[in-house]
Amino acid sequence: MRSISQVGKQWSTALRGVSTAFGGRVGVRSSRNPRLVAMKAGGDLGQGGGSLQEKVEGAREAYAGEVETNFAENTLGNPDTEHIKKPPEKIKEIIGLAKKRCIPCEGKDIKALTESEADLLRKQVPGWKLEKAEGNSLRLNCDWKFKNFVKSLEFFQRIAEVAEAEGHHPDLHLVGWNKVTVEIFTHAVGGLTENDFILAAKINDIDTSDLTSKKKPKFWA
Query: Which positions lie near ligand H2B, rule CB under 6 A?
Result: 104-105, 167-169, 186-188
> What pairs with residue 25 in β-bridges?
41
Cβ closest to ligand H2B, residue 65 vs residue 104: 104
**185 bridge partner residues:** none
Helix (H, G, I), strand (E, B) or coil at 210: coil
Minimum gap (Å) between residue 202 Cβ and ligand H2B: 13
Dihedral of CA 98/103/109/112: which sign?
positive
> Smallest distance, Å, CB 79 to ligand H2B?
52
- Count of beta carbons in the 10 Å neighbourhood of residue 121: 22
Min dist CB 182 to ligand H2B, Å, is 11
Residue type, 87: P
For ligand H2B, give the closer residue by CB, 26 or 102: 102
Query: Which residues lie closer than 8 Å to 194 by C-beta, 6 or more apart?
Result: 97, 100, 113, 121
Residue number, 42 or 191, with CB nearest to ligand H2B: 191
For residue 188, the minimal CB distance to ligand H2B (Å) is 3
Q: Which residue number places its CB atom closest to ligand H2B?
A: 188
Nearer to ligand H2B, 182 or 211 (CB): 182
Residue 217: alpha-carbon gap to chain centroid? 31
